Structure 1
């Protein structure tokens, strides 16, 4: 009766990993200790203002601006993407120009431009040329900080979403369109029931990233006093001069909101990817596999010579 030799399993030692971990831990503890011993930074101020009504109002306005601008961006992006995929050269050139302008200029510049649009158009007039205006209103009364924020962020987001939607539509195989056409579906039904449901799997991940970026970029509207989270934070620390403490409060809220957005994006991606999990591109079968399949179907004939 033979006895098999027993080999002892020894874990591989990683001294570098332990050294780097201890080094990073010591640095983290040193930073925490420095902050704790700092007598200028008041943690009580952070705890006091974290749920301040003005801060909560700013959080609400930030969410409103983000969701509204994202909806504008989604609708506008879908329209511009379809224009860019159109066979009409005028639509293609117009959509390309829109994307070129709003992707090529800084978001902050666009916000300031819309906030000061009254310099170019002092009044908003509705009427027929050559006749008395039916409706006229000073632009400054309409173009508030909030509206300028929605226009600036919404149009900017529309340019980015147009490219995302276009990439999602192009990712769907052309055979799907041909099959839908063979079934007698109209181009609109093909787009709504065949193309877009499959394109969502490609559109959702970058669109979720754009939403998170937009949530953070909404802080830019503080330069036009749109009443967002950073605007309210600035107003408070201009009164009590606790700049760092209030900035920490704003940062904590942005972290909470982006974390919730990340969680929502994860579950949304999981939902739209149902039915695609584990699907891989079809590869060319090997000769042995083809032969086995043919034999199972009774299509493989063997003769004595071949054997």
Structure 2
């Protein structure tokens, strides 16, 4: 049933000048499906890990220890001001090679795969942007709330985790979601170090069949659908976590009648 439907779609799209006959071949179809699953794994892993690292890095940025805050700020500036692709290639082609050479002397195998490097570097790169957004959110928390928490006997750590960070997360949520959307799109860079995601799979197919247009349309559709789904989830989360009255304009201020 599914194969018949696929053949009908292929025949229908052929009228538009696009030949997707290669999808009828099990090997190439399965290669694309495997690549799509691997792409989703990279996206999910980097989204989760980048948020965790972003929280840790934001905590270091506001550390009372000046040296720690300076080191964290230096990492953020270095990460934000260099291209993601350059960071990825340097990590995989330089750092990974050095690790491999060092382990070879001990007759050990390097356990770090291209998937690991893609997730690690993409997560660290976007964690720098998350950290700056969270730092701004933490600094935007009204001092009265911090003073109230202090008067209730909260320690500095409790104020951060129970008062400042939850409010900062809500305030920074639009920026965090924008960073997440960018991260989902940047996951395609994993193909540069031979991670077998959907971009890499499509590249392998069009080098053999010379069907760049068809493969590029598939990639655009895949990333367009996934990005839209992430965006829609972000809008839903923002609505769920919106602070009542925060940022709202009263009818009197807006020029409308004020009702009692």
Match in the other structure for 2:108: 137
* Counterpart residue number, 1:120: 98
**Structure 1 residue 247 and structure 2 residue 224: aligned?**
no
Partner residue of 2:192?
A: 223
Equivalent pair of 2:88/2:121 in contact (CA under 8 Å) = yes
Shift of 1:263: 0.9
Q: 1:63 aligned to 2:40?
A: yes
Quote how far apart the aligned CAs of 1:149 are.
0.5
3-state secondary structure, aligned to 2:108: strand
- Alpha-carbon contact 2:23-2:29 (below 8 Å) kept: no
Matched-pair contact (CA < 8 Å) for 2:14–2:20? no
Any unmatched runs of 5+ in structure 1? Answer: 1-34, 126-132, 285-307
Q: 1:86 aligns with which of 44, 55, 63?
A: 63
* Alignment pair present for 1:233 and 2:199: no
Q: Provide the secondary structure at the position in 2 that maps to 1:87.
A: coil
Shift of 1:168: 1.3
More helix by share: 2
Equivalent pairs, count: 236
CA distance in 2 between counterparts of 1:183 and 1:195 reads: 15
Q: Tell me how far 1:246 sits from its aligned partner.
A: 0.8
User: Against the structure 1 CA distance between its residues 169 and 152, is the aligned structure 2 distance closer, same or farther, given a 3 Å change threshold?
Assistant: same
**Per-residue CA distance 1:135-167 (angstroms, 9 max, x = gap):** 8734xx323211110121011111111101111
Q: C-alpha distance in 2, partners of 1:124/1:92?
A: 34
| Aligned-pair CA distance for 1:173 | 0.7
Q: Please give the alpha-carbon distance, in whole angstroms, between the structure 1 residues aligned to 2:107 and 2:51.
A: 31
Three-state SS of the structure 1 residue aligned to 2:133 is: helix
Give the distance between the partners of 1:107 and 1:188, measured in 2 at CA: 33
Structure 2: distance between partners of 1:124 and 1:183 = 54
What is the TM-score with the length of structure 2 in the denominator?
A: 0.81
Matched residue, 2:6:
none
Once residues 197 and 278 of structure 1 are traced to their aligned partners in structure 2, the CA distance between those partners, rounded to angstroms, is 17
Moved >6 Å (runs of 4+): 35-38
Q: 1-side partners of 2:117 and 2:226: how far apart?
A: 23
Q: CA deviation at 1:118?
A: 3.5
Deviation at 1:182, TM superposition (A): 0.2
**Higher CA-based Rg:** 1
Report the secondary structure of 2:227's partner residue.
helix
Partner residue, 1:73: 50
- Name the counterpart of 2:129: 160
Alignment of 1:90-101 (within 5 A): 90-101=67-78
RMSD: 2.8
Structure 2, gaps ≥5 residues long: 1-12, 254-260
